[in-house]
A = this chain, B = another copy of it.
């Protein structure tokens, strides 16, 4: 039997109100604002259930710790763009498609994962100005006002 707890509610709310994939640590920080004494273990346990319930989607980029985003936001096929300067991750609602024939003989492609790397609009704007902004934003992958482009 599944129970509704303040913790789970806060965790789910944290994910849903974010417009970008959050790390477990970020979710802890965010949800802690509503549930003090919230433990990281509880976050992980709830993330696991939320993923099983398909309410949350895991975003795994190469070499990065998993991030979690609301499944409603991830319900359609999409990819990600990570800025090599500020490390922020953005959704890319586009897809090259047609990758099935890329595989060697006898291989069957079921799905694919694509990550673009480069400079986001902010970091690309001005060299020095962007660098400063990036530094500020680099803190635990904080994403201020820019999300979900496209």
CA distance A85 to B120 in the complex (A): 36
User: Is A25 an interface residue, CB under 8 A from the partner?
Assistant: no
Nearest CB to that of A83 among chain B residues?
A: B107
Asked if A94 meets B102 with Cβ closer than 8 Å, knowing A60-B63, A114-B114, the reply is: yes
User: Is A51 an interface residue, CB under 8 A from the partner?
Assistant: no
Nearest CB to that of A84 among chain B residues?
A: B110
Determine the chain B residues whose CB is within 8 A of the CB of A99 once the complex forms.
96, 114, 116
User: Is A108 an interface residue, CB under 8 A from the partner?
Assistant: yes
Determine the chain B residues whose CB is within 8 A of the CB of A95 once the complex forms.
102
Contact of A112 among B104, B110, B116, B124 (CB under 8 A): B116
- Asked if residues B61 and A81 are in contact (CB atoms below 8 Å), the reply is no
Residues on A facing B (Cβ under 8 Å): 60-63, 66, 79, 81, 84, 90, 92, 94-96, 98-99, 102-121, 124-125, 149-150
- Asked if residues B84 and A107 are in contact (CB atoms below 8 Å), the reply is no
Determine the chain B residues whose CB is within 8 A of the CB of A63 once the complex forms.
60, 66
Determine the chain B residues whose CB is within 8 A of the CB of A109 once the complex forms.
81, 116-118
- Asked if residues B149 and A125 are in contact (CB atoms below 8 Å), the reply is no
Asked if A117 meets B121 with Cβ closer than 8 Å, knowing A96-B98, A149-B105, the reply is: no
Determine the chain B residues whose CB is within 8 A of the CB of A112 once the complex forms.
114-117
